A and B are shown apart, each in its own frame.
Chain A
Amino acid sequence: GAVVSQHPSWVICKSGTSVKIECRSLDFQATTMFWYRQFPKQSLMLMATSNEGSKATYEQGVEKDKFLINHASLTLSTLTVTSAHPEDSSFYICSARDPAGGIDEQYFGPGTRLTVT
């Protein structure tokens, strides 16, 4: 299957600072990437859909000014958590769709665990 990487795998930051998470498709070009958040023992929550070269589409209740998404190339999407607070501590996971796959499956990155102190 297709490979998606994320960086960093974990990050600790102080309240009020910003954190950038990178999501890369390593062996395919992803026109669409997705960002999810998962709190402990809870289900995946879709935050936004990131389309290369255009603005991201945010799910209801997700603050677009707080969670900045940039999909500048076919292999890279970034999520920046601005002015992070402890309640933003979570597991952030990206996924990418391989358009050549033909079945619309999504491949997930390994996730980034964010802890805001």
Chain B
Amino acid sequence: QKEVEQNSGPLSVPEGAIASLNCTYSDRGSQSFFWYRQYSGKSPELIMFIYSNGDKEDGRFTAQLNKASQYVSLLIRDSQPSDSATYLCAVNIPAGPLVFGKGTRLSVIA
């Protein structure tokens, strides 16, 4: 059974701080890893994907992947109130649907 685990939160961080979101997955065959952001009442929006071990940076976002530990994380630097949302980790194996975690709710306090 493919599972993706996330802490449901809420994770509260002050404005300007670094928010760290974590995700673990069970299927060692997983090859691609995604972070989506979902605002309340809206559909998920793709933020980043990563498929190689290490870090991948895009603006204020950094995705980190450790396949040996089956661990994916998302760092948000200089957090803004507009970053307050639910962040969904998703994992894929080829030709299958993405398997989503239940999401972590982030609250950035001004």
A105 at the interface (CB under 8 A from B): yes
| Contact (Cβ within 8 A) B32 A108 | no
One of A41-49, A61-69, A78-86 contacting the partner:
A41-49
Residue numbers in B under 8 Å from A49 (CB-CB): 97
Q: In the complex, what's the smallest C-beta–C-beta distance from B33 to chain A, in angstroms?
A: 10
One of B12-20, B41-49, B69-77 contacting the partner:
B41-49
B83-105 interface with A by 8 A CB criterion: 88, 90, 92, 94, 97-98, 100-103
B51 at the interface (CB under 8 A from A): yes
Residue numbers in B under 8 Å from A93 (CB-CB): 43-44
- Report the contact-size class of chain B (Cβ under 8 Å from the partner): 20 to 34
Supply 25 A–B pairs (Cβ within 8 Å), ascending by A: A34-B97, A43-B100, A43-B101, A43-B102, A44-B44, A44-B88, A44-B100, A93-B44, A103-B32, A103-B49, A104-B32, A105-B32, A105-B46, A105-B49, A106-B34, A106-B46, A106-B90, A106-B98, A108-B36, A108-B43, A108-B44, A108-B45, A109-B43, A110-B42, A111-B43
Q: 17 other contacts beyond A43-B100, A106-B34, A106-B97, with CB at 8 A cut-off? A: A1-B46, A43-B88, A44-B44, A46-B100, A49-B97, A91-B41, A103-B49, A103-B51, A104-B92, A105-B32, A105-B34, A106-B46, A107-B46, A108-B43, A108-B45, A109-B43, A111-B42
